[in-house]
Structure 1
Amino acid sequence: MNNWNVRLVGLDEKNAIAPQMEFNGKPSVTVTRRQLALFSTFPKVVAIVTYDEPTGQISQHAPYKLTANGVIQPGG
Structure 2
Amino acid sequence: MIVSEFKLTRGTKELIKTAIQETKSNNRYVLCEKIADMVETKYSGLNLEYQLERMNLQSTGKILQAIDTYFYKHLKNSDF
Range class of TM-score, shorter chain:
under 0.3
TM-score of the two chains, using structure 2 as the length reference? 0.25
Which protein has the larger Cα radius of gyration, Structure 1 or Structure 2?
Answer: 1
Which structure would you say has the larger RCO, counting Cα contacts within 8 Å and 6 or more residues apart?
2
